[in-house]
Amino acid sequence: MEKVNLAQKLSAFTDHFNPRIVGELNGQQVKLVKALGEFVWHYHENEDELFYVVKGSLDIQLRDKTITVNAGEFLVVSRGVEHRPVAREEVEIMLFEPAGTLNTGNVVNEKTVEVPRHL
């Protein structure tokens, strides 16, 4: 049982939209991801997804509005809701979601990372 330092883990990688698993509990996973630019529109059929912004600012585009999540804030995107994360500048995010959640949800394309790596 060891503690996890977010800044330390985040300093270990530089790529974008490539989540790393840093914790597991109750069938859920904690992931860290860096983002820059536009992700793809997608939804998760069976998973609610929590975005906690560690550093920077993340736009979560929904079909009817955009919610800007700043450092120290989180947003839960409910299952079934189409969303597109957009980072105008680099942002560092902690995700909390069920184990096995696919990053691109219902969409499979070049941004899909089927098995996020442990860090």
Binding residues for its own copies, rule: CB under 8 A, are: 1-7, 23-26, 28, 30, 47-50, 54, 62, 67, 69-70, 72-78, 81, 96-98
Nearer to its own copies, 24 or 89 (CB): 24
Contact by Cβ (8 Å): 51, 17: no
CB of residue 72 vs its own copies: minimum separation in angstroms?
5
CA trace torsion 12, 24, 117, 55 (10° rounding): -40
CB of 7 to its own copies, least distance (A): 6
Smaller CB separation from its own copies, 64 or 110: 64
Task: Give residues with Cβ within 8 angstroms of 107, minimum separation 6.
Answer: 40, 41, 42
Nearest to its own copies of 6, 107 (CB atom): 6
User: In the complex, what is the shortest distance from the CB of residue 67 to its own copies, in angstroms, rounded to a whole number?
Assistant: 6
> Given CA atoms 51, 82, 40, 115 in this order, what sign does their dihedral have?
positive
Q: Which residues pair with residue 21 across a beta bridge? A: 31, 118
